[in-house]
Amino acid sequence: MMAAVICLGGRAAAAAAASSRSACAFASSGPRRLQRRRSGAFAPRPLYSSSVSKSNEEEDGGGGEGGGAERLRDNYSSLLSDGSSVAVVGGGLAGLSAAHHLLRKAAERDMGLKVTVFDREDGPGVGGASSVAGGLLHPFSPRGTLLHNGSRALASSNVLLERSLLHRPDAVLRNRLYRVALTEKNAVQLRTTAEKYPQWAKWLDPQDVEGRTGARNTLGGLELGGGCRVIHVPTYLRGLWEDCVDTADMSERDSEARWVHVPHSNEGEGEGAADGIAWRERLAEYDAAILSAGSGLFRDCVLPPAPPEEGMEEGDDSWTGLPVDLVRGQSVELSVRPDDGDDDGDDGDGDGGGDPTPSEAVLCGKYVAPLPDRDAILIGATHEFQSEPLSPQLVADDLRARTSDLAPGPWSDGEVRAVTEGYRVQSRRGPRGRLPIAGRAPVEVRESVHENSWLFTGLSSRGLIYHGVYGDALTDLMMGMCDEGGEEGENPTPEGFPDLYWWMRGGSK
């Protein structure tokens, strides 16, 4: 058998280049001002000055009192009301979730609301990390533990998905996916998952795993269903935006959903500018702004740099002030022989057929996922902190080494026909793992971008599972549908999200 080869000539090369450009489109323009570690990796950023110290956090058990809460509550401006207008910067998973929730809640409350999405592309599902995501929707960590708010998050994402499917019924590729174990420890963990969460997880022995997925040399794994799905994210985003437009059009009040294409910044146009226009100037006409552009918030300098901390040189403006890291992810599209088996999204109780190139989604650290094009699969993703990207050959070599047992047929007989690339904003680990950054923006952002600005970023590889529920929570805040906060100094938070502002107290690592 011959190994999979890099074959990017002719139309394939053009497709790969277009895919790579598309994936990085929103992140690649503007000045690069990322502080680097000595190794060349992107360095951690300190919080804005509104964060509390670690000692304060330990003393109050991570509660709301301290500088962060006080600064957050400064100028807590008017909530949205009938006739309000909202700008959403970034039309990926976070931005469209927020836009959809706002329009739906406005309609339910008989309010008129105008939502404008600003994006580097001329339509949804084209650029940014969201457009090249693997599309695996499930609520579990690699160890099989249920993520924080995992059950609620899965339900919320499926609500949005059902709205998208009204317009794009082909957005769901599978109604199941598989997480496999390669170590005894992980096999024990996943068996426990199947016992604790039978509504989503079913344990399979190694023979069943191979028969259904083609993955070899496993110690068994989970079949995940009950709302766990494989989604073609670009198609899903297009359907979700179309539902935003329909929701606005059907409103009896003066509502609107509008997409504005913002051309790329050019060198010399200045920080915080897009198409030569500063974001503060562009957003001035709106009553509120949601900053949800992922890596574009940092690489395009939409957010202001945080004030220097001790040990930083004066004038060093490369710090973003949030507990995040920018991580490059590259994936490969591998050509395969189309599976003759069942791919109609049923419950997967059949024997899977044992085809050499089955098109099921499998994950174990990395992932293998089907694509709408039945003669290709997506394998990803690298996790790159260094400033220069890996070459296509190194990407293929790295992913082959890590997934050859998950997709033995495609790696043996297929060709790498495209390499996609995107930047993820990865939040640091907090007390409940990696959670999105969502809520009212710190005062530094409000003073430089918009006085009523909100953040929704840091979804990283959990964008599909968290974009719905945290978009719902954020828009509850904006609409005034939240707890008022008990003790003096606490932030208003949506019901069920007392730790929404974890990122104002400092991320760990």
Residue 470, token pair as written in the block: 């945290």
What is the C-alpha separation between 71 and 55, in angstroms, rounded?
18
Residues 6 or more apart whose CB falls under 8 angstroms from that of 261 comprise 119, 120, 121, 122
What is the C-alpha separation between 37 and 198, in angstroms, rounded?
44
Q: Provide the 10 A C-beta neighbour count for residue 3.
A: 11
Would you say how long the chain is, in residues?
A: 509
Which residue type, as a one-letter code, is found at position 436?
P
- DSSP, res 482: S
**Helix%, strand%, coil% for the chain, nearest 5:** 30, 20, 45
Residue pair 172/231 in contact by the 8 Å Cβ criterion = yes
Q: Which of 135, 348, 368, 352 is nearest to 229 (CA)?
A: 135
Domains of the chain, with CATH numbers? 23-35+42-54+65-311+318-324+425-509 (3.50.50.60)
pLDDT at 480: 86
Q: Which of 152, 49, 230, 225 is nearest to 467 (CA)?
A: 152
C-alpha dist (Å) from residue 92 to 88, 124, 457: 10, 7, 10
For 57, phi then psi, to 5°, come to: -65, -40
Q: What's the pTM?
A: 0.81
Residues 6 or more apart whose CB falls under 8 angstroms from that of 18 comprise none
Residue pair 79/480 in contact by the 8 Å Cβ criterion = yes
The per-residue DSSP string of 422-473 comes to EEEEEEPEETTEE--EEEEPPHHHHHHT-TTEEEEE-BGGGHHHHHHHHHHH
Q: At what angle do helices 233-250 and 150-165 cross, to 10 degrees?
A: 70
pLDDT at 473: 95
What is the C-alpha separation between 174 and 225, in angstroms, rounded?
10
Residue at token pair 């949205």 = 80
pLDDT at 437: 95
pLDDT at 488: 42
* Helix residue spans in 184-339 (DSSP H): 184-196, 206-213, 233-250, 279-283, 296-299
pLDDT at 429: 87
Q: Which of 159, 180, 136 is nearest to 463 (CA)?
A: 136
The per-residue DSSP string of 394-421 comes to HHHHHHHHHHTTTSHHHHHH-EEEEEEE
Binned average pLDDT, 10 residues per bin, the chain of 509 residues:
42 41 33 30 38 31 35 51 95 97 95 96 88 93 96 98 98 97 97 98 97 96 98 97 97 94 59 67 96 87 68 46 89 79 45 54 95 91 91 95 93 90 89 92 90 94 95 94 54 81 64
Side-chain-side CA neighbours of residue 137 (13 Å): 33
Conformational region of residue 330, where left means phi above 0, alpha means psi within -120 to 50, and beta covers everything else: beta
What is the C-alpha separation between 388 and 313, in angstroms, rounded?
25
pLDDT mean across residues, the chain: 79
What is the C-alpha separation between 71 and 491, in angstroms, rounded?
10
Question: Where does residue 198 rank: exposed (0-12), middle (13-18), buried (19+ CB within 10 A)?
Answer: exposed
Residues 6 or more apart whose CB falls under 8 angstroms from that of 53 comprise 66
